[in-house]
Amino acid sequence: MGPLTDDRGQALVVGAVVMAMAVVAVVGLRAAQDRMVEGVRAQRAGEAAAEAAAEALADAYVAYLSTVPSGSAEARLADVPGLVADAKTLAAARRAADELARENGGRPIDSVTAVCVGGRIEARLVVGGFQHHAGFAAAECSRP
């Protein structure tokens, strides 16, 4: 009966090792899945934050245009780039971006910039080391 007992003992050991390997594999897969889900969540929160910043810029842009007389094309050209670079405008864009990032479970905003170029106003954000941007058409940002 000795050899039979040894075979069963070995089988139990092999079974336990296989079970342990399976547990390690499942735990590893679960951790990888959690990292992927977190990455997607962070990406979506960053994109939403960029959209919120662009919306804040659009609000400032529309408010500015409503103060410029309709025949004052030169005033618009001169001041729209200044508007998007203004500290108050950028602060409003950052607040909007931070709020939406937080609501979507994202990280705090690392930086916010705004540009007026190529016929567009764009909000450019860095969130957790990743860049995001969103914008809209603005004819005043087209320089001949």
Q: What is the pLDDT of residues 82-106, one digit of tens each?
A: 999 999 999 999 999 999 888 888 8
Number of Cβ within a 10 Å radius of residue 8 = 10
Report which of 72, 114, 77, 108 is spatially closest to residue 92, judged by C-alpha positions: 114
Which amino acid is present at 115? V
Residue 88: predicted pLDDT: 96
The pTM (predicted TM-score) of the whole model is: 0.72
pLDDT in tens, 20-63: 777 777 777 677 776 666 766 777 888 999 999 999 999 999 99
- Residue environment code for 11-45, b if the CB has 16+ CB neighbours within 10 A, otherwise e: eeeeeeeeeeeeeeeeeeeeeeeeeeeeeeebeeb
- Judge whether residue 113 has pLDDT over 70: yes
